[in-house]
Structure 1
Amino acid sequence: MSVDNVLYLHGFNSHPDSPKARQTCDACARLASRPRFVAPVLPNRPADAFAVALEAFDSLKGPTLVIGSSMGGFLATCLAERRRIALLGLINPAVHPVRLARGMVDVEQVNPITGARSRVEPCYVDQLLELDPPRPREPSRFTVLLGGCDEVLDHREALRFYRGARVLVVPGDNHALGAYPRLLPGLLARAGLIG
């Protein structure tokens, strides 16, 4: 199988100009098959972010690799419950992010890429509860890349949730997953984009 598209879903309070998104875009541009690369700007409000992700996915024709980082991994998992996705690559995915959101209500956030300021609103908790997916029914479609020393999310939670998926834990790596550039070719190869 070879995909025609790569949809990148960035994390909470991030942006399509984040390092991992740019690395993914650049890698796709160098491929002979030139898959269509799409990385929408996802709002912080979970219901709105999911609506944008769903619209972006639905606009693509042909098999699609969906890559999601952190909250983007959560959104990708939500998409997989509602749409037939060829393959998913998750980078330190947020599992049940409602637990984090409860502790962040009314805390100011500053987007490190854009400098925009926002606050986690109480409605985020309800929206995350509504979106929260069950364990994947087809875990074999998932490749999960985890930093063994993630300072934001406990990688062991993802190990349990994505049981049956292809999982790689990078010992000593953190939430930014500095090893991503060297892991990305393997993910693209699994999607049939590299020989």
Structure 2
Amino acid sequence: MQTQDSRARPLLIYLHGFLSSPQSFKCQLMREWLTANNPHIVFCAPQVLPYPAIAQQSLVGLLEGFLRSANCGPVGLLGSSMGGFWCTYLGERLHLPAVLINPAVRPSRFMPAYVGRVLRPYSGGTQEYRLTEADVDTMGRLEAELAQPLHSRYWLLSQRGDETLDYRDAENFYRSQRQTVEEGGDHGFQGFARYCAPIVEFLFNQQ
């Protein structure tokens, strides 16, 4: 018989946005909420590099490793902005549910503006990145793998005041999925704390 400590525990994976980090506000808020309210849920927030090929390889490897683990419980994905794209990519490939916060639907549209520039994470640090046209091409190929209709289960959280991405792209792309679209707000998604409990309900209590 399994003991409480040895039973498989749910795993929530948070994927941050472009040039953000696991130190982002929403990531830390979700981590703290789980610690206080659902400590049995394991929280994982990997650093996601802006290079699409490296990010794709590392994220798929990470998730496949978790899913092969003998004590792996249910896995849910939560992603913001570019992290929303990666959650959708992983959700379709590995059949996992995901919650998407102001997600990037076609990242290859905005990436050319960053090609050739020295890029640094918004959270600070000494790491520097420089994207190339090859990175944009790689992202375009990854986007092409996401064909309609979507086959996993998603919940779009969107605010129409998003100053970075066009909310209409996400509304259209996830049109067959659950959507909560709010007037106002911004790209960071104002009032995110309201959704911590519903996110956990969606990811783990409907499986």
Scaled by the length of structure 1, the TM-score of the pair is: 0.89
The one-letter code of the counterpart of 1:75 is W
Gaps of 5+ in 2: 1-8, 67-71
Residue 171, structure 1, aligned to residue 194, structure 2: no
| 1:153 counterpart residue number | 165
Q: Work out the percentage of aligned pairs sharing the same amino acid.
A: 31
The one-letter code of the counterpart of 2:73 is G
The one-letter code of the counterpart of 2:99 is G
Cα–Cα, structure 1 residues 122 and 37, in superposed 2: closer, same or farther, change >3 Å?
A: same
1:142 Cα deviation from its structure 2 partner: 0.4
| CA distance in 1: counterparts of 2:188 and 2:200, whole angstroms | 19
**Over the residues paired in the alignment, what is the CA RMSD in angstroms?**
1.7
1:119 Cα deviation from its structure 2 partner: 2.5
| 2:113 counterpart residue number | 103
Aligned partner of residue 27 in structure 1, secondary structure: helix
| 2:53 counterpart residue number | 47
| 2:76 counterpart residue number | 65
Deviates more, 1:99-108 or 1:20-29: 99-108
- Equivalent of 1:123, from 119, 124, 134? 134
| CA distance in 1: counterparts of 2:26 and 2:112, whole angstroms | 27
Cα–Cα, structure 1 residues 191 and 82, in superposed 2: closer, same or farther, change >3 Å?
A: closer
Cα–Cα, structure 1 residues 56 and 31, in superposed 2: closer, same or farther, change >3 Å?
A: farther
| CA distance in 1: counterparts of 2:35 and 2:148, whole angstroms | 33
| 1:134 counterpart residue number | 147
Gaps of 5+ in 1: none
| 2:99 counterpart residue number | 89
Counting matched residue pairs gives 189
1:128 Cα deviation from its structure 2 partner: 0.3
Residue 26, structure 1, aligned to residue 32, structure 2: yes
The one-letter code of the counterpart of 2:33 is A
The one-letter code of the counterpart of 1:5 is L
- Equivalent of 1:75, from 68, 86, 92? 86
| CA distance in 2: counterparts of 1:187 and 1:136, whole angstroms | 23
Residue 14, structure 1, aligned to residue 20, structure 2: yes
1:126 Cα deviation from its structure 2 partner: 1.2
Scaled by the length of structure 2, the TM-score of the pair is: 0.84
1:136 Cα deviation from its structure 2 partner: 4.7
Which entry has the higher C-alpha Rg, 1 or 2? 2
Aligned partner of residue 114 in structure 2, secondary structure: coil
